[in-house]
Every structure is written in C-alpha cells, then in structure tokens.
C-alpha cells in the first residue's frame, strides 16, 4: 500500500464532452466578454502541443476591440462578417515564415535553424503544417478553459496579409472567433464519416 495519490491517466467523461462530443462551431455569441488574461491561459496550455523539431511556427493576433475587428471585416466572405463583428475575440491564426530564427532557443541541441534556412520549400511546408497543428491545439485548449470557437477559412488571405502583416514575415493560416456561444444560433450537427470510411487497420 502506498499513500501516494495516483491520478487518473485518462480524462473524465465530462472533459470528453467539452472537448469533442458537445463542442460545436459557433455562429453567434452571448454578450459576455473574454478577458485577455484568459487568452494568456490558453497560450500557456497550447504552447506545449508537439511541433516538428519544436519549431512552434504558429503566431496568433487576437483582435479584442471593435476597431481591431473592423480592420478584418472587409477581408471576410459575406456569411462570416456578422458573427466575426460580434465575437468577443477574433484570433488570426498565422505562421512566421522565418520561424527557424527561433530554433537556437527552441531546439538548442542541434543546428536545426540550418535545416530550414537553406530550404524554402521545407520551411514553408513545416510552417503551414505545424502552425495548423498549433491552431488545433489552440482551439482545444480554449474549449478546455470553457470558451467556444468558430473557426473559418472563408476569407481573402491576400487581403488579411496586406492589412495585418504588410512586412511579409507572418502569413494568415485560418481565423477563429472566440467567446461564449449563443446556442440558439447553432445549425444542426452535420454527419461524420464512419470509422471504416476514414480509417484502415493493417
């Protein structure tokens, strides 16, 4: 017998519902603000998600004011304007095409900077793949802390980049509204593929 507390190695059923089963892409928002402190808490979780060579190329611009959101609205597809205008926070999930400049800090045990600095195609693919992984970690961390998400790719990336990243170092990947969802604005959940349509066991 031991009196060391053994923590469960699985999350509980309620967490599975919050993260996956009951979580929905929101189309409308309750009038309830999201504190900037909470965005920091979300970051302090999702930063731990794995990326290739710990490259961590994801960057996020959080739009928290009417003024900041107004800069984004002209870049959006029409059906995305109203839900983004009214979202407490809008996250522009982006990547840094020069992410490898941080590798001497992030991956100190090898010269990982040179793997990417000398190979633009590898750097671009790594930035896109890994910032996308980080975008998913970000959304699940936000849900874990009680927020709802509304991700979208219906926007003009060239316009977003010109407005927010004119220096050309960061590039938008996708956009995600954040807040507390108005469940009356939800669409019915769409079907998913069956296991056998999406997976093969060899």
Residues 87-106 that bind a second copy (CB under 8 A): 102, 105-106
> What is the nearest approach in angstroms of a second copy to the Cβ of residue 143?
8
**Using rule CB under 8 A, residue 80 touches a second copy:** no
Which of 71, 46, 55 has the alpha carbon at shortest distance from 139? 46
**Using rule CB under 8 A, residue 201 touches a second copy:** yes
**Using rule CB under 8 A, residue 62 touches a second copy:** yes
Residue closer to a second copy by CB (options 81, 133) is: 133
Which residues lie below 8 Å from residue 124, measured CB to CB, with a gap of 6+?
A: 97
Report the residue from 35, 108, 118, 183 that binds a second copy according to the rule CB under 8 A: 108
Within 51-165, residue ranges assigned H as helices are 66-72, 78-85, 103-106, 112-117, 120-144, 157-164
Integer-rounded Cα Rg, in Å, for the chain is: 19
> What is the nearest approach in angstroms of a second copy to the Cβ of residue 195?
5
**Using rule CB under 8 A, residue 1 touches a second copy:** no
> What is the nearest approach in angstroms of a second copy to the Cβ of residue 1?
22
Site for a second copy in 3-32 (CB under 8 A): 7-12, 14-21, 23, 25
> What is the nearest approach in angstroms of a second copy to the Cβ of residue 151?
5
Site for a second copy in 125-154 (CB under 8 A): 126, 128-129, 132-137, 139-141, 144-146, 149, 151-153
Token pair recorded at residue 70: 């107004």
**Using rule CB under 8 A, residue 120 touches a second copy:** no
Residue closer to a second copy by CB (options 85, 102) is: 102
Q: Which residues pair with 14 in a beta bridge?
A: none
* Distances from the Cα of 77 to the Cα of 27, 29, 138, 165, 198, angstroms: 14, 19, 23, 19, 30
- Are 176 and 149 a contacting pair, CB within 8 Å? yes
- Are 131 and 60 a contacting pair, CB within 8 Å? no
């Amino acid at each position: 017998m031991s009196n060391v507390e053994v923590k469960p190695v699985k999350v509980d059923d309620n967490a599975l519902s919050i993260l996956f089963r009951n979580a929905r892409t929101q189309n409308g928002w309750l009038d309830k603000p999201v504190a900037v402190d909470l965005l920091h808490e979300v970051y302090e979780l999702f930063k731990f998600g794995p990326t290739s060579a710990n490259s961590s190329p994801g960057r996020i611009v959080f739009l928290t004011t009417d003024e900041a959101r107004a800069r984004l609205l002209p870049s959006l597809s029409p059906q995305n304007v109203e839900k983004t205008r009214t979202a407490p926070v809008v996250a522009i999930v982006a990547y840094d095409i020069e992410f490898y400049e941080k590798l001497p800090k992030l991956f100190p045990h090898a010269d990982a900077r040179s793997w990417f600095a000398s190979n633009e195609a590898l750097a671009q693919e790594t930035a896109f793949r890994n910032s996308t992984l980080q975008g998913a970690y970000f959304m699940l961390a936000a849900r874990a802390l009680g927020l709802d998400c509304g991700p979208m790719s219906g926007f003009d990336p060239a316009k977003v980049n010109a407005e927010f990243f004119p220096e050309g170092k960061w590039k938008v990947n996708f956009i995600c509204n954040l807040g507390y969802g108005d469940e009356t604005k939800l669409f019915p959940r769409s079907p998913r593929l069956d296991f056998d349509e999406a997976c093969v066991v060899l």
